Amino acid sequence: MIVFPNCKINLGLNILRKRSDGYHDLETVFYPIPLTDVLEIIEFKNHGRTFSIPFSITGLPVKGEAASNLCVRAYKLLKKDFPHLPHIQVHLHKVVPTGAGLGGGSADAAFTLQLLNDLFDLKISREQLINYAAELGSDCPFFIINKPCFAKGRGENLEELNVDLSAYKIIIINPGIHIDTGRAFLAITPALPAKSIKDIIAQPVSSWKDELVNDFEAVIFPEHKEIAAIKTQLYEAGAIYASMSGSGSTVFGMFPASKELKLTLPDHYFVKLLPA
- Cβ neighbours of 194 (radius 10 Å): 6
DSSP annotation string for 110-141: HHHHHHHHHHTT----HHHHHHHHHHH-TTHH
Instruction: Tell me the CATH class for 168-275.
Output: alpha beta
At 237-247, the pLDDT tens digits run 999 999 999 99
What is the reported pLDDT for 20?
A: 82
* Right CATH for 2-160 from 3.90.420.10, 3.30.930.10, 3.40.50.2300, 3.30.230.10: 3.30.230.10
| DSSP letter (8 states) at residue 203 | S
According to the model, what pLDDT value does residue 275 have? 84
pTM of this structure: 0.94
- Please, which pLDDT band fits residue 44 given cuts at 50, 70 and 90? confident
Q: pLDDT, tens digit, for every residue of 64-117? A: 888 889 999 999 999 999 999 999 999 999 999 998 999 999 999 999 999 999
- Which has the closest alpha carbon to 155: 173, 174, 136, 169? 136
Residue extents of the structural domains in the chain: 2-160, 168-275
Catalytic center residues: 8, 139
